[in-house]
A and B are shown apart, each in its own frame.
Chain A
C-alpha cells in the first residue's frame, strides 16, 4: 500500500515537473543596453503636426513617421559580433515607447551598432506574421505582398495634391528594388561603455542627401521601384549616434 502510494506520488511529481518544461529559459546577459531613437528636423526635435521649413525652402508638416528596425547587431571592441535575430521593432514617432528598446549584451565596450532599416525578404514571403510585423499595423501592402519599410506622411504648401498631402510609403523587397537598408554606426570612444545608445535620425536627409527629392516634386511614392529606391538611399544616410549623451 505504502509502496503504491510512493510510486503514484513519484509519477505525479514527474508529470507535474514535466508540465513546467515549456517555459522558455531566460537568457541572462550581464548588461542591459537601451537604444533610443530620436527624430530631428532642422536640428530640432520632430513634433508631429508642427510646421517647419526645410533646407530646400519647402514649408511642411509631418503627421506620421514610422519605420521598421530589425537584425540589430553589436560589435564589441574585440571585434566580436553579437546578432539579435528574430527581433523586429516598429519605431513610430507617435508612440514614445516604440522609440526605446532594451537589449541584453555582455559588458564588453561597444564599438559599433548595426541594424536593418526594414524587414528582410524572408519575412516578406512567409505569410502573415505577428507582433510588430502584424499586417494590422498598417505597414503592409495587401495588394502587392510586402512590407512598407518606412513611412512618412504630412502636408506641404508646395504639394499639388488633395489637401497638399504627401505620402511616402517606401517598400519593395525583391532583388533590384529592395528598400531595406543595412545601417552601421560607430560609437564615439566616450560612449563605448555607456548602457544607453542614442541614435538620431535627421529627417532632412530623407528628402535631400544622396538624391534631391524635394517634396513638391515627389509628393507620392506608393509602389516598389526606382523612386522608392532613391528614398531608401536617402534614409540609409539618415542615422547617426548622438554626439553627447546626457547622463
Chain B
C-alpha cells in the first residue's frame, strides 16, 4: 500500500516536471512600465498594445541604442549621433559623421515624444517607429551594416540572448524584436517638463520677455509649430533653396509629387536651444540665422507655404522676445535623466533636479 502511494507521488512529480518543460513561458512576467500622457496632451499614435512597455524591454532597447556593434566597423551606435545632452540630436553638427569618414545628408533630428509621431525622417518616408532604426543601420554613410549581420552579432552574444529572453520570453532574436526593443527605449523619451510646461501647469510663471515672446509666438509661429508638441507634423516648403551638393528634394522623394518639392517636416521646437544647428541640412547655426531666414533670406517659389509667401515680418524686438520664449522650451530634467544615459552611466551620480511623471 505504502509503495503504491510512493509510486503515485513520484509519478505525479514526474508528470508535473514534464508539464514544466513545455510551459516555459507561463511564468514569463516582465515588469510593465505605464506610459503617462502628460496633462493636456493628445493621445499617442503608437500602438502600445502591439509592444507593451516593460522594464526588461526598455533595458534591452537602451543596451541596443548605445551598442556600437550595430555598425559595420563597431564605431557607431544610435547614441553616437543622437546625444542626450543635445536632446538626442547631434550637438553642434549640421550633418552627422558616419562610417568611413562619411557625412550624413541631413541634420539628425532630436528624439523625444516619438509616440505622438506618425511618420519619421525629415521626409516622413518611414511609416512605423519600429522600422526606423533599420534606415541608419543600413545606410552606407551612417552605420553601414546589414540587418542580417546585426542579427547575427546579437545572436552570438550570450548577454543579448538573456536580455531578449527577459524582454520577450524566449531567446529568439529577430529584426522585429530588435525594432520593438529600440522603440521601447525611444518611446519613453518623453520631454514634458520644460519651464513652458510648468507655466502651463501653473507651477511657474514666465518673466516678462518670455511672456511677450509667447504672445508673439502664438501670433506668428503657432500655426505650424502647434502646441503642445510644437509641431503639427506636416511637411512644408519654407523657401529654403536647394543645396547644390545635397540636391535634397525632401518630401517629393517619397511621394514623387512635384508639389512636395523641398517640403520637409516641421520640426518640434522643444529643447530648441540645445539642438542647434537647425534646418533639415543644419544650414542655420543659430536661432538668429533662422529668424533672418524667415524675415529676409528665404526664397519663396510656387510650392512655398502660403503662410510664408510674403516671408515673415519680424522686428528685432520680436526676435529678442521670441528667443527668450524659446529658451523656456528646454527640458533640463529630460536632458540629464540618467535613465536615458548609456547603461552604467549615472551622470556622475548626480540625480537630475526634476524628473517628469
**A interface residues with partner B (beta carbon < 8 Å):** 2, 5, 8-9, 12-13, 15-20, 22-23, 124-130, 134-136, 140, 142-146, 177, 223-225
Tell yes or no: B131 within 8 A of A by CB: yes
- The complex places the Cα of A159 from the Cα of B342 at a distance, in Å, of 49
**In the complex, how many residue pairs between chain A and chain B have their CB atoms under 8 Å apart?**
96
B269 shortest CB reach to chain A, Å: 26
Interface pair A144/B131, CB less than 8 Å apart: no
- The complex places the Cα of A223 from the Cα of B129 at a distance, in Å, of 21
Tell yes or no: B300 within 8 A of A by CB: no
Interface pair A128/B12, CB less than 8 Å apart: no
- The complex places the Cα of A129 from the Cα of B174 at a distance, in Å, of 9
Interface pair A127/B151, CB less than 8 Å apart: no
A66 shortest CB reach to chain B, Å: 15
Known pairs A127-B128, A129-B176, A135-B147; A19 contacts B138 (CB<8 A): no
A27 shortest CB reach to chain B, Å: 21
Q: How many chain B residues have a CB neighbour from A under 8 Å?
A: 40
Determine which of B22, B179, B254 lies in contact with A128 in the assembled complex, contact meaning CB atoms within 8 Å: B179
B256 shortest CB reach to chain A, Å: 5
Set of chain B residues within 8 Å of A8, measured between Cβ atoms: 12
**B interface residues with partner A (beta carbon < 8 Å):** 5, 8-9, 12, 15-16, 18-20, 22-23, 25-26, 50, 121, 125-131, 134-135, 137-139, 146-148, 151, 174-176, 178-180, 253-254, 256
Contacts A/B (CB < 8 Å), 8 sampled: A5-B5, A17-B19, A19-B20, A22-B25, A128-B179, A135-B131, A142-B135, A223-B256
Interface pair B254/A144, CB less than 8 Å apart: yes
- The complex places the Cα of A12 from the Cα of B12 at a distance, in Å, of 7
Set of chain B residues within 8 Å of A224, measured between Cβ atoms: 256
Interface pair B180/A136, CB less than 8 Å apart: no
B170 shortest CB reach to chain A, Å: 12
Interface pair B16/A130, CB less than 8 Å apart: no
Interface pair A128/B176, CB less than 8 Å apart: yes
Nearest A residue to B119 by beta-carbon distance?
A145
Leading 3 A-B pairs by shortest Cβ distance: A16-B19, A127-B130, A136-B147
- The complex places the Cα of A15 from the Cα of B20 at a distance, in Å, of 10
Determine which of B15, B148, B174 lies in contact with A13 in the assembled complex, contact meaning CB atoms within 8 Å: B15
Nearest A residue to B1 by beta-carbon distance?
A2
Determine which of B16, B121, B146 lies in contact with A15 in the assembled complex, contact meaning CB atoms within 8 Å: B16
Set of chain A residues within 8 Å of B137, measured between Cβ atoms: 142
- The complex places the Cα of A140 from the Cα of B134 at a distance, in Å, of 10
Known pairs A19-B23, A128-B176, A224-B256; A143 contacts B16 (CB<8 A): no
Set of chain B residues within 8 Å of A124, measured between Cβ atoms: 127
B240 shortest CB reach to chain A, Å: 21
Known pairs A13-B15, A128-B176; A143 contacts B26 (CB<8 A): no
Known pairs A15-B19, A223-B256; A136 contacts B8 (CB<8 A): no
With most chain B CB atoms within 10 A of its CB, the pick from A15, A18, A19 is A19
Interface pair B175/A134, CB less than 8 Å apart: yes
Nearest A residue to B21 by beta-carbon distance?
A19
Nearest A residue to B14 by beta-carbon distance?
A16
Determine which of B5, B22, B127 lies in contact with A19 in the assembled complex, contact meaning CB atoms within 8 Å: B22
Set of chain A residues within 8 Å of B12, measured between Cβ atoms: 8-9, 12-13
Determine which of A15, A19, A127, A144 lies in contact with B50 in the assembled complex, contact meaning CB atoms within 8 Å: A127
- The complex places the Cα of A224 from the Cα of B256 at a distance, in Å, of 8
Determine which of A125, A142, A145, A225 lies in contact with B256 in the assembled complex, contact meaning CB atoms within 8 Å: A225
B145 shortest CB reach to chain A, Å: 11
- The complex places the Cα of A126 from the Cα of B51 at a distance, in Å, of 12
A225 shortest CB reach to chain B, Å: 5
Determine which of A19, A128, A142 lies in contact with B26 in the assembled complex, contact meaning CB atoms within 8 Å: A19
Set of chain B residues within 8 Å of A20, measured between Cβ atoms: 19, 22
Determine which of B25, B130, B256 lies in contact with A177 in the assembled complex, contact meaning CB atoms within 8 Å: B256
B171 shortest CB reach to chain A, Å: 15
Known pairs A16-B15, A144-B125; A136 contacts B148 (CB<8 A): yes
B230 shortest CB reach to chain A, Å: 25
- The complex places the Cα of A8 from the Cα of B179 at a distance, in Å, of 44
- The complex places the Cα of A43 from the Cα of B151 at a distance, in Å, of 40
- The complex places the Cα of A136 from the Cα of B148 at a distance, in Å, of 5
Nearest A residue to B150 by beta-carbon distance?
A136
Set of chain A residues within 8 Å of B18, measured between Cβ atoms: 16
Nearest B residue to A131 by beta-carbon distance?
B174
Determine which of A15, A130, A142, A223 lies in contact with B134 in the assembled complex, contact meaning CB atoms within 8 Å: A142
Set of chain A residues within 8 Å of B22, measured between Cβ atoms: 19-20, 22-23
- The complex places the Cα of A25 from the Cα of B9 at a distance, in Å, of 31
A18 shortest CB reach to chain B, Å: 8
Known pairs A13-B12, A136-B148, A136-B151; A127 contacts B131 (CB<8 A): yes
- The complex places the Cα of A223 from the Cα of B137 at a distance, in Å, of 20
13 new A-B contacts at CB < 8 Å, known A19-B26, A127-B129, A135-B147 = A5-B8, A8-B12, A13-B12, A16-B16, A16-B19, A19-B20, A127-B176, A127-B179, A128-B128, A136-B147, A142-B126, A142-B139, A144-B254
Interface pair B175/A135, CB less than 8 Å apart: yes
Known pairs A125-B128, A135-B131; A142 contacts B176 (CB<8 A): no
B263 shortest CB reach to chain A, Å: 15
A42 shortest CB reach to chain B, Å: 34
